[in-house]
Amino acid sequence: MDLELTPDQELLRETTRKFLKTTVPVTEVRTLAANPAGFDRGWWKKGADLGWTSLLVDEEHGGGSVSGEGLRDLALVAEEMGALVSPGPLIPTNVVAQTLSCEASDVLAGRILPGLLSGESVAAWCVTEPGRPVTPDGITLRVRRDGDEFVLDGLKRPVEAGGEADWLLVTATGPDGLSQFLVPASAPGLRITPLRGLDLVRRNAEIRFEEVRVPASSVVGVLGGASLSFERQMQTALVLQCAEIVGATDRVFGFTVQHAFDRSSFGRALASYQALKHRFADMKLWIESAHAMAVDATRTVQAGAPDAAEVVRIAKAYVAERCPELIQDCVQLHGGIGVTWEHDLHLYLRRVVLHRETYGDPMEHRDRVATLAGR
């Protein structure tokens, strides 16, 4: 949690928390596991009314933040979503909305953004490719010009909300360099295959592009000049991932400590044993460190600091490594009940492990930090 919140940010956080607890408690998350989309569109529209989809969009296009720092505001929403393992395409929709707001033509933004901001439509960021690093050099999906159109060929996997999205923001490489295109999910030549996922309510898909033709008006930004856009998108996604991971881990740590006070062994509460006190102290240190790094990454990216690329990747590498380990410890501290389907622990472990692996795992980000440092 960022301790330097404005009153408006406090209100946003409390409103989001209350809304999530009321509409999608963990019991409802379990129910939504059987929903093909993993979330209810009507519910997502209500979340959009609270500002979940507009915080990274400028006022000219109908967006606006509560504090003037949209990413910090949105990180608060992400943290609350992590605390309740909430459904919804928060990260991909906001990454796409931010990109359209910053780089799309007024015509394209004016046509697509209103639906995203209202929650009527959903967008997916098609960037990850199987077996490839999530870097500009890792993009192999090809684009070529054919008259007044562009033709896309290749594979993206996994794509969060790819099967539920109405619009796909596709990162491709070609003779001009790295480019991005906004493609309707109904475009001929698209083959979208839902994937079995670890998280019960966050859906992923494989999207194959086979001679998918799009008009020149679908180019987002400058043709061949998407490298800077890619970096901004990655930083936004990593900040939101870290916030969700920390929110989930903090919640798990809280109910694990409570469990240790509630359960007894040989007439004493488990929490009274010195060995467990030492373990909890170590875990508390880890989680406070993860909180601090997530907040620092959010502030740094929000400010557009020169070292933002390094700071956010250091945060992802640390948070995504330590927090899953911490939750695994919590599983052990619960004993046998911790590995049952009925307990909520596995829901949180699924969420943080999924975030650990998507948009680059800790090792990949450490390598990237070394590269940025010139090593």
Put residue 354 in one of left, alpha, beta given phi > 0 → left and psi -120 to 50 → alpha.
alpha
Full pLDDT tens readout for the chain, 375 residues: 566 899 999 999 999 999 999 999 999 999 999 999 999 999 999 999 999 999 999 999 999 999 999 999 999 999 999 999 999 999 999 999 999 999 999 999 999 999 999 999 999 999 999 999 999 999 999 999 999 999 999 999 999 999 999 999 999 999 999 999 999 999 999 999 999 999 999 999 999 999 999 999 999 999 999 999 999 999 999 999 999 999 999 999 999 999 998 887 787 888 788 888 999 999 999 999 999 999 999 999 999 999 999 999 999 999 999 999 999 999 999 999 999 999 999 999 999 999 999 999 999 999 999 998 886
> CB neighbours (10 Å) of residue 43?
18
pLDDT confidence of residue 3 = 62
> CB neighbours (10 Å) of residue 325?
13
pLDDT confidence of residue 1 = 54
**Cβ(213)–Cβ(190) under 8 Å?**
no
d(CA 129, CA 276): 42
Return the closest-CA partner of residue 315 out of 373, 248, 366: 366
